[in-house]
Structure 1
């Protein structure tokens, strides 16, 4: 089950449009997983593209980083998606980009850099429910392990696909509820957006 095979399989999943639009970037994994009929992606999701100048390929203006997703062959909706956002505001961009791949029954997790570290929310948007959480453990993968009570040591021997399956399988069973707020309420509550380039060596 190679990545080449998965790229054929991806055409019949909810990831197909995102792939054709060139949004699935820098993949650690973009292939079949250990679950039959499941394609997994772990990488970055392009949210806004920079204007093209002549033939110059420019990096996207906005990314959802550390993205994780699974899609099932023959199904049009993503059952699971998670990612990191510098600002809660960009939830709107994620929802618009994912668009018709979202469903009311899907499990979608966004870890935002500028929400209160003590708060966790559920935010309905475009017919889907997003879990919005602070980023405490530095990576989306570690955050998901913590949220889902998965032991990192238990997953160490698994490959990237196996780790993604373990997280997705647990996420699909996640049924904890948090305070429900609207997107507009979230905008009012969010803090300033950190400059990711500050304090970096030049």
Structure 2
């Protein structure tokens, strides 16, 4: 049985950063999957009260492998492109220079797709329009939901992440600073939604 502490997700779990988990278990021998949110910045705590984080990377899909120190693949949603710095800092040594990290950002131009460098880490950054990371990933990777509907949550997550590992596209390369300079105002996700 693969335990979370035997994977790079163990440190994040100990720090109380893995939240709202839809999946947080072994998905196959030697692999521990996670679907949920990762806290990027905590609010100050007074006494023993537990406060929600100030902001998170939402709808994360990733897995850690037993005995490995880095996450090979990760996808998630950021409300603000500027939070990419926090992703790189918080996940730190759990990210590798050759990992496949796909971020959907709320406030970048809908027509743009970037390959963003931050230190020695590289991220694919794409726009996200009112959809979910799951839907965006299955569209990006051309995965038919009927092909995976009989699988459990862990099995579906593995199929999507394995396809992500094999996926590659050339996007405009930019630095983090160039991305921050070009980012747009954060969109209200609840705007124009029926009540």
Report the TM-score range of the alignment, normalised by the length of the smaller protein.
over 0.9
Matched with 2:55 is: 62
Matched with 2:124 is: 131
How far does residue 136 in structure 1 lie from its aligned partner after superposition? 3.5
Matched with 2:26 is: 32
Instruction: Supply the distance in 1 between the matched residues of 2:4 and 2:165 (Cα, whole angstroms).
Output: 20
Moved more, 48-57 or 132-141: 132-141
1:51 equivalenced with 2:44 (yes/no) = yes
Spell out the pairing of 1:31-180 with structure 2 (5 A cutoff).
31-34=25-28, 36-136=29-129, 138-180=131-173
1:17 equivalenced with 2:11 (yes/no) = yes
Instruction: Supply the distance in 1 between the matched residues of 2:141 and 2:97 (Cα, whole angstroms).
Output: 20
Instruction: Supply the distance in 2 between the matched residues of 1:137 and 1:200 (Cα, whole angstroms).
Output: 10
Q: What is the aligned residue count?
A: 195
How far does residue 91 in structure 1 lie from its aligned partner after superposition? 0.5
TM-score computed with the length of structure 1 as normaliser: 0.91
How far does residue 201 in structure 1 lie from its aligned partner after superposition? 9.4
Preserved CA contact (<8 Å) 1:122 1:178: yes
Preserved CA contact (<8 Å) 2:112 2:126: yes
How far does residue 195 in structure 1 lie from its aligned partner after superposition? 3.8
Structure 2 unaligned spans of 5+ = none
How far does residue 181 in structure 1 lie from its aligned partner after superposition? 0.4
How far does residue 196 in structure 1 lie from its aligned partner after superposition? 4.5
Secondary structure, counterpart of 1:67 in structure 2: strand
Preserved CA contact (<8 Å) 1:102 1:127: no
TM-score computed with the length of structure 2 as normaliser: 0.94
Query: What does the per-residue CA deviation read over 1:81-129, in whole Å, with 9 as the maximum and x for residues that have no partner?
Result: 1110111111111111110011111100110011111111000113111
Q: Which runs of 4+ in 1 moved over 3 A?
A: 195-202
Tell me which protein shows more strand as a share of its residues.
Answer: 2
Closer/same/farther in 2, CA of residues 200 and 56 from structure 1, 3 Å limit? farther
Preserved CA contact (<8 Å) 2:130 2:189: no
CA RMSD of aligned residues (A): 1.7
Closer/same/farther in 2, CA of residues 114 and 141 from structure 1, 3 Å limit? same
Instruction: Supply the distance in 2 between the matched residues of 1:131 and 1:200 (Cα, whole angstroms).
Output: 28
Matched with 1:189 is: 182
